[in-house]
Amino acid sequence: MSIIDRLVEHNVEYAKTYRGDYPLRPSKQVAVVACMDSRLDVFAMLGLGLGEAHIIRNAGGVITDDMIRSLTISQRMLGTREIVLLHHTNCGLNTFTEDEFDDLLLRETGARAHWKAESFRDVDQSVRESIRRITQSPFVPFTDNVRGFVVDVETGLLREVMRDDAEE
Amino acid sequence: MSIIDRLVEHNVEYAKTYRGDYPLRPSKQVAVVACMDSRLDVFAMLGLGLGEAHIIRNAGGVITDDMIRSLTISQRMLGTREIVLLHHTNCGLNTFTEDEFDDLLLRETGARAHWKAESFRDVDQSVRESIRRITQSPFVPFTDNVRGFVVDVETGLLREVMRDDAEE
């Protein structure tokens, strides 16, 4: 049995106790942006229940155009008002440079991507950069409550990264 | 106390029983792509544990350039080999058209986005379109095990969408 078949089999058990009466619009009016890392169970880590928050995740948890698209839809069409950013220690994006990634793709595929890998060296700086990308977007309307954190994957604890307003 | 403060407070409780010895590379070698919808608790729904799978989520769970970036990093740098796509019933992206979204942004911000909203009318068709975008990318190397599902948000159950190879 393949891994995906086993996930589907588990889902049948999950559905037996699933209560399906949650609304489309998140009740806590919050969107969580997080890295795709396998050690971040966002619902459990933040105590979120079903129907409460949008969860948006990519490699790094960095703010890209697609993140702006998702946050714009989250706020303008589905009523969220606050944003939590979760980056973390021991991140895969901290293990290579943009040049190394570009060279790898070119060597293995013969093609260059028109997007960047979004690798970074300093996770706090990466969180601040992502906050800036949100506050500077013309499309995300509610940016008073955008807060960024680094998750320590050894302890599971969040540490808030303070915005450096001098950089804005 | 703000909503975000309450999430951070819960995290302190969560960390008390957190075991922090998971590796960077997902042990099940699978990446799950899902919609940001608040009713999809991907870990619980698929029976995933910490350290097992990448979780990548955006508005709709549609394959955009940023999804290709994340999947490329997931497979080439962090060893995943299979992909599960999760779209769902009652999706917010099924409630407006691209033109309505473009008009809203232009009216409220005075600017046009250079990205599309990625709204859709038919969720099965959207899943197949996303599978095609993965298999046609030069950057995602492992595409033999890409499977797409629609989650019924009333029952919690997955329904697989079969690939229509005639369309490829």
Give the Cβ contact number of residue B104 at 10 Å: 15
Mutation pick from B7, B19, B25, B112 vs chain A, by most beta carbons of A within 10 Å, is B7
Q: If pLDDT is split at 50, 70 and 90, which confidence band does A76 have?
A: very high
Percentage with pLDDT > 70 across chain B = 97
**Tens digits of per-residue pLDDT, B49-64?**
999 999 999 999 999 9
- A56's CB contacts (< 8 A; 6+ apart) are A31, A32, A33, A34, A67, A70, A71, A74, B36, B57, B58, B59
CA angle A140, A142, A147 (to 5 degrees): 100
The CB-side HSE value for A141 (13 A sphere, CA atoms) comes to 15
Average pLDDT value for residue range A17-29:
95
The answer to whether B139 and A113 are in contact (CB under 8 A) is yes
Cα(B166)–Cα(B168) distance, integer angstroms = 6
Instruction: Give, for A54, the enclosing helix (H) or strand (E).
Output: strand A53-58
Share of chain A above pLDDT 70, in %: 98
CA angle, corner B23, sides to B17 and B27, nearest 5? 105
pLDDT tens readout for residues B104-124: 999 999 999 999 999 999 999
pLDDT bin (cut points 50, 70, 90) of residue A125 is very high
Q: What ipTM score was computed for the predicted complex, to two decimals?
A: 0.96
B141 to chain A, any CB pair closer than 8 A? The answer is: yes
CA distances (Å), origin B32, targets A38, A40, B63: 10, 13, 12
What local confidence, expressed as pLDDT, does residue A135 receive?
A: 97
Q: Is the pLDDT of residue A130 over 60?
A: yes
Domains and CATH numbers, chain A: 22-167 (3.40.1050.10)
Tens digit of pLDDT at every position of chain B (168 positions)? 799 999 999 999 999 999 989 999 999 999 999 999 999 999 999 999 999 999 999 999 999 999 999 999 999 999 999 999 999 999 999 999 999 999 999 999 999 999 999 999 999 999 999 999 999 999 999 999 999 999 999 999 999 998 776 554
Which 89-118 residues of chain B touch chain A by CB within 8 A? 90, 92-93, 95-96, 101, 104-105, 108-111, 113-118
- pLDDT (0 to 100) of residue A165: 62
Pick A10's closest partner by Cβ from B2, B8, B46. B46
In a mutational test of the B interface, the residue from A6, A7, A84, A139 whose CB has the highest number of chain B CBs within 10 Å is A7
Shortest Cα distance, chain A CAs vs residue B160, angstroms: 9
